[in-house]
A and B are shown apart, each in its own frame.
Chain A
Amino acid sequence: MSPRTDAPLWGPATVAGAGSGRGPRELTPGAAVELLGVSRWYGNVVAVNDISFTLGTGVTGLLGPNGAGKSTILHMLAGLLQPSDGVVAIHGTPSWRNPAVYRDLGLVPERESVHSFLTGFEFTLLNARLQRLPDPDAAARRAIATVGLTDAADRAVGTYSKGMRQRVKIAGALVHDPSILLLDEPFNGMDPRQRLQMMELLGKMADEGRVILFSSHILEEVERLAQDVLVIVSGRLAASGDFREIRRLMTDRPHTFTIHSSDDRRLAASLVGHPSVYGVQLDGGRLAVRTSDYAGFARALPALARACAVSILELRPTDEDLESVFGYLVQR
């Protein structure tokens, strides 16, 4: 991705001159992949809401909880869904109803989408032929080798493991050597070793100058692989930019803990005075504490409890699920 320096890193999706639905909108010259003011709705349900971004070479992670609209964005990029509003462009050309874009684009869908009776090689060869490559046989063999399936190339896809199926889909998607590769949840169902191999493969392809966009709902996957990240929550672009910056904001966000102790009331009185705490609530025998300084609070709590002679029986973070992390980013 090429984070625009003239646009803020945070807040609703912004494009120079685009605003949120008003003002002139123009595609960025030279952008390999661009969404400009794109929305998509199904009846009354808004799946994607006024999203704009451009992608450059390297790996970009499309991060968000399930149902956030990640697949909708990837499908619009791949010309398999029509944007309800805005423009989705590949090399400056709209991808909807334009099969020519597939000369330089590969899509790895999430679903099991390969005829199980085909062998891995046959499937890859079909992709090469349908791309009208001059030497489909050689291209298929190279793509199979790239994803490390040479030994299993002559076995039916129906006998493959989940990770192998994922890889044969990638072989089919890169057989024509596209500069843009879109992958929908490529790590789903893979074991740790397969994940690692896949990450190495995608990293290698990005180093060769490709534009790679993959979706994931798992923070750690994106963190390990992507230089840039687009955070999608409820169809909106909640954050975009360098991953480390987003990670820092995620760590520094307010945390809420639920404490169960020998004397909640006394502990609450003691906690209120500490600078790392900005909210204390006693609710039905439960003590909820809000803190903006995660590390400071973690250090202070044992000492405070000891000082007021209260035993802590249970300490639990209440909002560590991904949805609340994303929710926080959206509110900013």
Chain B
Amino acid sequence: MSDPVANGPGPTAGRGPARSGPVIVTIAALTARSLLGRRRSLLLALLALLPVAIAILVQLSGRAGTGRLEVSTAIMDRLIVATILPIIALVFGTAALGAELEDGTAVFLLVKPIDRWRIVVAKLIVAVGLSVALVAPASFIAGAILAPGGTGLAGAVGAAVGTAVGATVYATVFFALSLVTGRALAIGLVYILVWEGVLAGLLEGIRTLSIRQYTLAISAAIAHPGVTDPALLDARTALALAAIAVIGATVIAIRRLAAFEIGQGDD
């Protein structure tokens, strides 16, 4: 295109054909830079390394038997699946777009001739990708060290796959939440602590609405193939519910962004 000013307005002169790929890549690269360039991503990385460090300490202390199983459950389920995984997904999920809509840095993206779904997809890929990249390797290493229930490598793979699915669902749900409310971080924390942390463990009926339960069911199915644990969801059901949650949250996010209205401001 020629000089944007000297030649006067020429809105569409010389514009290339619509290519969605590069635009999504451009938005995703900016989002990744924005999310990784902050101090909090370092803190999250340390958080993800915490269970690995504890697992190493447990290994060095040489505990074995039933005590070992309890420690393994404490680290893999309560520390990783119930706490670290949802918190990392919450931070990335809400920061990728919701926080930028709040602080105004997303406005320049919105006033571009780009379908809003492309913005959602690009940002979602980054939020999910970073959450998975932090959580899944950490749970694989911790799982390999602890070998929960004497499952060896299968346990570690199960932990990695399960937490990868869990991180995907959590990040997508929190991403959508951040487009529905400006208080996504607080509401997400309450959800993690109250719903997933307390209620889903007490009330069997809401297991199907618990991302933690999806994670545990998928991990267990890979770690112990063929074994049915009545306390857990069926793995196929868990996978189907996880897919429904991801698709549903993505659709909500796209619809919300398409009808996004800027804050009332102080004009």
Which residues of A line the B interface, CB within 8 A?
42, 47, 66-72, 75, 78-82, 97, 99-107, 109-115, 117, 123, 126-127, 129-135, 138-139, 142-143, 146, 169, 172, 174-179, 184, 204-205, 208-210, 215
Contacts and interface: CB of A to CB of B under 8 A. Distances in A.
Contacts of A104: 9, 11-12
B5 A112 contact: no
Given A126-B30, A142-B5, A47 B264 contact: yes
A132 B11 contact: no
Judged by DSSP, the binding face of B is loop
A126 B114 CA distance: 13
Contacts of A204: 5
Interface in B1-27: 1, 3-16, 18-19, 22-23, 26-27
A139 B13 CA distance: 13
Contacts of B259: 82, 97
A130 B110 CA distance: 10
A134 B267 contact: no
A107 B107 contact: yes
A176 B4 contact: yes
B227 interface: no
A75 B265 contact: yes
A174 B111 contact: no
B260 A80 contact: yes
Interface string B103-119: 11101111111111000
B182 to A, nearest CB: 15
Contacts of B16: 132-134
B27 to A, nearest CB: 7
Count chain B CB atoms within 10 A of each CB in A82, A130, A143, A204 and give the residue with the most: A130
A327 to B, nearest CB: 18
Chain B interface residue bracket vs A: 35 or more
B73 interface: no
Contacts of A172: 108
Interface of B: 1, 3-16, 18-19, 22-23, 26-27, 30, 33-34, 37, 103-105, 107-116, 258-262, 264-267
B9 A209 contact: yes
Nearest to B29: A126
B37 to A, nearest CB: 5
Nearest to B260: A80
A162 to B, nearest CB: 15
A127 B267 contact: no
A208 B107 CA distance: 27
A115 B34 CA distance: 8
Contacts of B22: 129, 132
A71 B265 contact: yes
Contact of B23 (A72, A129, A138, A215): A129
Given A104-B11, A130-B27, A132-B23, A113 B108 contact: yes
A146 B6 CA distance: 9
A39 to B, nearest CB: 15
B267 A102 contact: no
Given A103-B15, A111-B265, 14 more contacts: A66-B266, A75-B265, A81-B262, A110-B267, A117-B33, A126-B108, A127-B112, A130-B112, A134-B16, A169-B108, A175-B4, A177-B1, A177-B5, A210-B9
B114 A80 contact: no
Contacts of A176: 1, 4, 11
Contact of A97 (B7, B30, B258, B267): B258
